[in-house]
Structure 1
Amino acid sequence: MKNFTFNINENSYSVRILSQEDNTIELEVNGTNYLVKMKEEIKSRKTPTLVRKPSTTAPVEPIKVNPSSSKTTITAPIPGVVLSLKVQVGDTIKANDSLMILEAMKMENNIVSEKSGTVTAINVKPGQQVLQGEVMIEIE
C-alpha cells in the first residue's frame, strides 16, 4: 500500500503498510511482518448545556378590557355542540351554578357560571355548534 522511511537514533527503518482492517494494521519493517493493533481513541462526547439569560423585562400584567364593568361572558372552552340550556334570560344564578351542557369530542361538558348574577343574554340554542371562544351566555 504505502512505503515510509523512518530515521530513529541514526538507524534507518523501511516500513511498508500491507493491509488495514478497522484498528488492526499488517505492516513490514525491514522485511519482517508485524500485526499492529492501533489504540482506539476514546472520544469524549460533549453534551451541550442550554444556558438562558435571565429575563430583564418585568412580567406583563393582563390587560383588563373594562375593569369597572360588571358584565361577564361565558365562552366556549372548546368547539362543540350545545346539548341543553339550564337557564333562561332573567334567571338569577350563583357562582358555580350549571348553565348548560356542551358536547365536545363525544363527551358532555357541564358549563358553570364564574360568578353570581343575572342572565342577560343567551346567544346559543340547543343543537347549535359553537367554536372555541364564542360567547354563549352573558351575565351581569
Structure 2
Amino acid sequence: MKQYKYKINGNLYKVTVNDIDENNIATVEVNGTPYTVEIEKTVAPKPVTRPAAAPKTESGKPVVARPTAATNKYAVKSPLPGIILDIKVKVGDTVKKGQTVLILEAMKMENNIHAEKDGKVTAINVNNGDSVLEGTDLIVIE
C-alpha cells in the first residue's frame, strides 16, 4: 500500500494505491472513495542488437577483410578499424555526395560513413557484422 497527496487546482487529494494485480488493475482510494483503475501497459523500447563478437574462422582466428586492389571506380573506404553495423544502400542505388551509406562501430561508437561523390552503387564488399581494417574498400560507387 502506497499513499500520496496531490494538490490539483487548489484541491487536496489523498490517494492510496492498495493493490495491483497481474492484469494491471489497481484498487485505489481517493479521499476515502474506492476506485478500480486500469493501468496502461508501457511498451519497452526495442534494444539495439549488435554482434556479440567479431566472427571467427574454424581455426579461431578473427575474420578480417583486407584492403582490395585499387580500381578505376571510386570506393568508400573504412576510415578506421571496426565492425559493420548497418548497410544503408543496395547495389544499383543512386547516392548523393554526403549521403550515409553504412554505419561502422569503432571504439564502442557508431560512425556514419558517407559517400564522397555522387554515383551508382556497383558493389558492396562487406556484410553486417564483418570486421574491417582501416582503408578497406567497403562500397564501390561508379
Q: Structure 2-normalised TM-score? A: 0.50
Hey, what's the Cα distance between the residues in 2 that align with 1:116 and 1:109?
20
For residues 5-44 of structure 1, the aligned pairs below 5 Å read none
Task: Name 2:138's counterpart in structure 1.
Answer: 136
In 2, the alpha carbon distance for the partners of 1:127 and 1:117 equals: 25
> Aligned ranges for residues 1-140 of structure 1 at < 5 Å?
69=72, 71-140=73-142
The offset of 1:85, in angstroms, is 0.3
Mapped to 2, the partners of 1:118 and 1:135 lie a distance apart of: 15
Q: Distance in 1 between matches of 2:135 and 2:100?
A: 18
CA distances 1:1-57 after superposition (whole Å, capped 9, x unpaired):
xxxxxxxxxxxxxxxxxxxxxxxxxxxxxxxxxxxxxxxxxxxxxxxxxxxxxxxxx
- 1:119 is displaced (CA, Å) by 0.2
Taking structure 1 as the reference length, the TM-score comes to 0.50
Structure 2 unaligned regions, length at least 5: 1-69
Q: Which residue identity does 1:116 align to in structure 2?
A: D
How high is the sequence identity, in percent, across the aligned residues? 53
Tell me which stretches of 4 or more aligned residues in structure 1 moved more than 2 Å: none
Return the structure number with greater relative CO, CA threshold 8 A, min gap 6: 2
Larger Rg belongs to: 1
Q: Aligned-pair distance for 1:126? A: 0.3
User: Aligned with 2:75: secondary structure?
Assistant: strand
- Quote the offset at 1:95 in angstroms: 0.5
Root-mean-square deviation (CA), in Å?
1.4
Distance 1:78 1:94 in 2: 22
Partner residue in 2 for 1:5: none
Segments of structure 1 that go 5 or more residues without pairing to the other structure are 1-64
